[in-house]
């Protein structure tokens, strides 16, 4: 699907990646602790239900992944209002999920300007696409909110805890991100299918906006310029992430959870350094052809 639309993709550099924001000394006494979970959960005042929803989503994902991956990371979840953000992270943009360490995950508690920046210009969308956006992301007051999509990114971020803490060699920068999107899509497709539209529609709309003005469009360009793309070309980085989201959906549609199981086993095997041709061959033979096509059909 291609459409001539304008999207403001503001600072996507850490939205779907394990952003390494330097943590300030955490003032956890300013937050409330939520009991009842096998990991630590803190939240801003008045945000207990938001924290509970995210923590339950993480716990259900961990339980589902116990059999699939045979590993459970240690996680500390912080669900923060804007006023508490700077006390617990130096990352400047409120709304971007990120890690301040390999185990401390920071999430936004409320809708924000960063999330709103992903709302497309509805007047420029094809009528059928605009109708879908309103159906999936519509609000009771007649507006549109991307919160149903961003609420699911806690699962993507949880995926980073798996590969960071085990740890495994993700071989390529893009493969770490693709693993987390397969991780996310597998859980939603198999355990929360009613939320699939919220997960998949926004990436399709972003991809449909095209690549005009992007300095980087290949996987090798991303690999060679990963930090620059994230820090200086956030809209371009957002397009990459949406491509990986779409690929994750295609992979699961074709392979089910087999792709996630085999990719995890492949990474755990410490396959060593290899060029792209060898990596593509091994992904095809040892994981699944659909995963190899992320490289070969990019």
Please tell me the distance from the alpha carbon of residue 259 to that of residue 22, in angstroms, as a whole number.
Answer: 34
Tokens found for residue 5: 């639309």
Element (H, E) at 261: helix 258-268
Q: Tell me the three state secondary structure of residue 31.
A: coil
Per-residue tokens: 194: 């009613």
Q: Lowest mean pLDDT: which of 18-22, 141-145, 197-201?
A: 18-22
Indicate whether 136 belongs to any domain. Answer: no
**C-alpha 73 chain-centroid distance:** 17
pTM: 0.89
**Vertex 41 angle, CA 57 and 22, to 5°:** 105
Q: What are phi and psi of 77, to 5 degrees?
A: -105, 130
Q: What percent of the chain has pLDDT over 90?
A: 79
Q: What is the pLDDT of residue 294?
A: 97
Q: Residue 239 — pLDDT band, cuts 50, 70, 90?
A: very high
**pLDDT confidence tier of residue 6, bands split at 50, 70 and 90:** very low
User: What confidence tier does 22 reach under pLDDT thresholds 50, 70, 90?
Assistant: very low
Is 130 within the bounds of a domain? no
Structure tokens at 50: 């938001």
Q: How many CB atoms lie within 10 A of CB 33?
A: 11
Query: Does residue 284 lie within any of the structural domains?
Result: yes
Is the per-residue pLDDT at 57 higher than 70? yes
Strand partners, 78: 42, 106
Here the CATH number for the domain that contains residue 276 is 1.10.390.10
Q: Which residue range(s) make up the domain with 288?
A: 28-114+147-296
Categorize the per-residue pLDDT at 226 as very low, low, confident or very high, splitting at 50, 70 and 90. confident
The pLDDT score that the predictor gives to residue 161 is: 97
Q: How confident is the model at residue 236 (pLDDT cuts 50, 70, 90)?
A: confident
Nearest to 185 by CA among 283, 23, 90, 68: 68
Is 154 a domain residue? yes
pLDDT value, residue 96: 85
Q: How many CB atoms lie within 10 A of CB 252?
A: 24
Residue at 11 is within a domain: no
Confidence of residue 229 (pLDDT cuts 50, 70, 90): confident
Average pLDDT of the residues of the chain: 90
Q: Please report whether residue 122 resides in a domain.
A: no
User: For the chain, what's the residue count?
Assistant: 298
Q: Closest Cα to residue 39, out of 71, 74, 67?
A: 74
Predicted local distance difference test score (pLDDT) of residue 19: 45
Task: Place 257 in a pLDDT band, splitting at 50, 70 and 90.
Answer: very high
The total number of structural domains in the chain stands at: 1
For the segment 154-167, what is each residue's pLDDT rounded down to a tens digit? 999 999 999 999 98
Proportion of the chain above pLDDT 70, given as a percent: 90
Tell me if 74 is assigned to some domain. yes
Q: Give the other-Cβ count within 10 Å of 298's Cβ.
A: 12
**Which one has a higher pLDDT value, 27 or 95?**
95
- Asked if residue 204 is part of any domain, the answer here is yes
Q: Which region among 36-45, 64-73, 117-126, 263-272 has the lowest average model confidence (pLDDT)?
A: 117-126
Give CA–CA dist 201/136, Å, rounded.
8
Task: Report the pLDDT averaged over residues 122-133.
Answer: 95
């Amino acid at each position: 699907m291609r459409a001539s639309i304008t999207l403001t993709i503001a600072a996507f550099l850490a939205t779907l990646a394990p952003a390494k924001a330097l943590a300030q000394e955490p003032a956890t006494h300013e937050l409330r602790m939520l009991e009842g979970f096998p990991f630590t959960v803190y939240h801003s005042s008045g945000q207990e239900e938001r924290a509970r929803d995210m923590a339950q989503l993480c716990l259900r994902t961990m339980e589902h992944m116990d059999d699939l991956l045979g590993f459970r990371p240690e996680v500390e979840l912080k669900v923060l209002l804007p006023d508490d953000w700077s006390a617990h992270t130096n990352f400047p943009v409120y709304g971007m999920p990120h890690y301040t360490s390999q185990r401390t995950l920071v999430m936004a508690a409320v809708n924000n300007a960063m999330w709103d920046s992903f709302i497309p210009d509805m007047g420029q969308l094809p009528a059928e696409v605009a109708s879908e956006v309103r159906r999936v992301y519509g609000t009771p007051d007649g507006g549109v909110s991307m919160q149903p999509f961003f609420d699911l990114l806690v699962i993507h971020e949880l995926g980073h805890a798996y590969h960071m803490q085990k740890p495994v060699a993700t071989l390529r920068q893009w493969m770490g991100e693709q693993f987390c999107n397969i991780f996310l899509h597998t859980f939603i497709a198999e355990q929360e299918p009613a939320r699939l539209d919220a997960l998949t529609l926004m990436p399709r709309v972003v991809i449909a906006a095209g690549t005009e003005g992007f300095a980087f469009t290949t996987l090798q360009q991303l690999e060679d310029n990963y930090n620059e793309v994230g820090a200086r070309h956030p809209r371009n980085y957002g397009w990459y992430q949406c491509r990986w989201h779409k690929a994750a959906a295609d992979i699961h549609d074709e392979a089910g959870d087999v792709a996630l199981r085999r990719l995890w086993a492949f990474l755990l095997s410490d396959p060593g350094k290899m060029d792209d041709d060898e990596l593509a061959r091994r992904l095809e033979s040892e994981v699944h052809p659909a995963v190899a096509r992320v490289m070969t059909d990019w």
